[in-house]
Homo-oligomer: A and B are copies of this chain.
Amino acid sequence: MEKEGTEMVEETEHMIVKNGAKDPQNAISASDSKEMRAVVLTGFGGLNKLKVTKKPMPEPQEGEVKIRVKACGLNFLDLMVRQGNIDNPPKTPLVPGFECSGIVESMGENASGFEIGDRVMAFVNYSAWAEVVCTPVDWVYKIPDEMTFPEAAAFCVNFVAAYMMLFEVANLREGMSVLVHSAGGGVGQAVTQLCATVPNVTIFGTASPFKHEAIRHYVTHLLDRNADYVAEVRKISPEGVDIVLDCLCGENTGKGLGLLKPLGTYILYGSSNMVTGETKSFFSFAKSWWQVEKVNPIKLYEENKVMAGFSLLSLLFKQGGCSQVKTAVQALLNLYNHKKIKPLVDSLWALEEVKEAMQRIHDRGNIGKLILDMEKSPTPLMANDSTETSEAGEEEEEQEGDNDNKERMPFIQ
């Protein structure tokens, strides 16, 4: 293990030199070991605010682990960050990204539990999209030998969110029913796989029709995302469902609460995959987000209902929930080791392809997770349909066209 880790680190350093040389406008005079490549958001806005550039090599502070990154997860929240479309946005320039996998390169003071060369996955409070990341030791987890780095980069945010929502907030048990939107997205895939670990769970999942064939075996009742999902669910299950996982918000809060059986739980979730591939534009999303109706607790009392909100990144980065998250990660790795769950990677992208990757999420093209792969070089295949669409986030009107017929990219894993 350690030997393999060391070799991989060397390979990666070699890549930096090579790629650095290809990018003269970002060249920095310091020696290569003092620098790394990273995606930088120069200001809030469209895709043109993203650049791949050299940054000073970070060193681990007290309690931190330094990781040589192999793969990073791309989440819908990253698109919102790019837009500055989040509560209390940080200052730009910044390096985006909340999760990565890689190899432990060194440890800061008072950081223990890892050896140099350990294969790990980690949460990062921004700055994940870089060749090297330093993050608190409590947010780092060893990964099984058979888990690939792209799988590991697809694991943390989506599976932990899905697990905590289903088993800690909603108390999923045998025989229950679950409605999940974007069943083909990162969280959607994690939700459906975790539901399958409980006997006799019925899953209602919305997705664009072109995804249905690919995800049919995960979902009991596949619904067209463009259809009236309330009516569709009622047709199949007049009494409603036990759990609604809502990443749409707005009027969907009322719809979701209305669909609950007695003692059912509605969860509004966001954090990472809030609306993966399921909003027509940022403008309409922001509108629905802020126009959500408030709920009277007495209504919940009269109807025996539960309304919850779940934000994994708030839990971890603002509320100190690292021990709760660690417990969930351990349970999930146990399920992975027993081959009950497996992250579904949609596609791998070079750092330089981050704009195309973001556009793919925006256009709802993905089935599973998009990964930035540090060892991948940009490919000419990138000059495809996704770059021809309007630039995500710069549009302010609803984009009426549907991308359901868009072909999936040729480099899908």
A residues apposed to B, CB below 8 Å: 87, 164, 168-169, 171, 249, 253, 262-263, 265, 268-270, 289-290, 292, 294-311, 314-315, 319-321, 324
Interface centre among A164, A168, A294 (most CB of B within 10 A): A294
Taking a contact as CB atoms closer than 8 A, the residue among B87, B253, B315 that contacts A262 in the complex is B315
Q: Which residues of B contact A305 (CB under 8 A)?
A: 308-309
Taking a contact as CB atoms closer than 8 A, the residue among B171, B310, B314 that contacts A168 in the complex is B171
> Are A298 and B302 in touch, CB under 8 angstroms?
no
Complex CA distance for A306 and B300, rounded to whole angstroms: 12
- Closest Cβ neighbor of A298 among chain B residues: B292
Complex CA distance for A138 and B249, rounded to whole angstroms: 38
- Closest Cβ neighbor of A263 among chain B residues: B168
Complex CA distance for A304 and B316, rounded to whole angstroms: 11
> Could you give 14 example pairs across A and B, Cβ below 8 Å?
A87-B302, A168-B263, A169-B171, A169-B306, A171-B171, A262-B324, A263-B315, A268-B301, A292-B297, A299-B309, A301-B310, A302-B314, A306-B307, A306-B309
> Are A309 and B292 in touch, CB under 8 angstroms?
no
> Are A304 and B296 in touch, CB under 8 angstroms?
no
Taking a contact as CB atoms closer than 8 A, the residue among B289, B308, B320 that contacts A300 in the complex is B308
> Are B295 and A301 in touch, CB under 8 angstroms?
no
Q: Which residues of B contact A309 (CB under 8 A)?
A: 297-306
> Are B296 and A294 in touch, CB under 8 angstroms?
yes
Q: With A294-B296, A298-B292 in contact, do A314 and B321 touch (Cβ < 8 Å)?
A: no
Complex CA distance for A164 and B298, rounded to whole angstroms: 18
Protomer copies = 2
Complex CA distance for A294 and B305, rounded to whole angstroms: 15
Complex CA distance for A319 and B308, rounded to whole angstroms: 22
Q: With A263-B324, A309-B305, A315-B263 in contact, do A268 and B297 touch (Cβ < 8 Å)?
A: yes
Interface centre among A249, A253, A263, A324 (most CB of B within 10 A): A263
Q: Which residues of B contact A324 (CB under 8 A)?
A: 262-263
Complex CA distance for A297 and B297, rounded to whole angstroms: 11
Q: Which residues of B contact A299 (CB under 8 A)?
A: 309
Interface centre among A296, A297, A311, A319 (most CB of B within 10 A): A297
> Are B298 and A319 in touch, CB under 8 angstroms?
no
A271 vs chain B, min Cβ distance (A): 9
- Closest Cβ neighbor of A320 among chain B residues: B262
Taking a contact as CB atoms closer than 8 A, the residue among B249, B262, B297 that contacts A319 in the complex is B262
A301 vs chain B, min Cβ distance (A): 3
Q: Which residues of B contact A319 (CB under 8 A)?
A: 262, 304
- Closest Cβ neighbor of A171 among chain B residues: B171
- Closest Cβ neighbor of A269 among chain B residues: B301
A76 vs chain B, min Cβ distance (A): 14
Q: With A304-B310, A307-B307 in contact, do A249 and B168 touch (Cβ < 8 Å)?
A: no
Q: Which residues of B contact A289 (CB under 8 A)?
A: 298
- Closest Cβ neighbor of A253 among chain B residues: B297
Complex CA distance for A315 and B300, rounded to whole angstroms: 12
Complex CA distance for A295 and B266, rounded to whole angstroms: 14
> Are A263 and B164 in touch, CB under 8 angstroms?
yes
Q: Which residues of B contact A290 (CB under 8 A)?
A: 298
> Are A308 and B310 in touch, CB under 8 angstroms?
no
Q: Which residues of B contact A315 (CB under 8 A)?
A: 262-263, 304
Complex CA distance for A230 and B13, rounded to whole angstroms: 55
Q: Which residues of B contact A263 (CB under 8 A)?
A: 164, 168-169, 315, 321, 324
Q: A169-B306, A301-B309, A305-B308 are in contact. List 12 more A-B contacts (CB 8 A).
A: A169-B171, A262-B320, A263-B315, A265-B306, A268-B298, A292-B298, A294-B297, A302-B314, A304-B310, A305-B309, A307-B307, A307-B308
Q: With A263-B169, A321-B262 in contact, do A303 and B314 touch (Cβ < 8 Å)?
A: yes
A156 vs chain B, min Cβ distance (A): 17
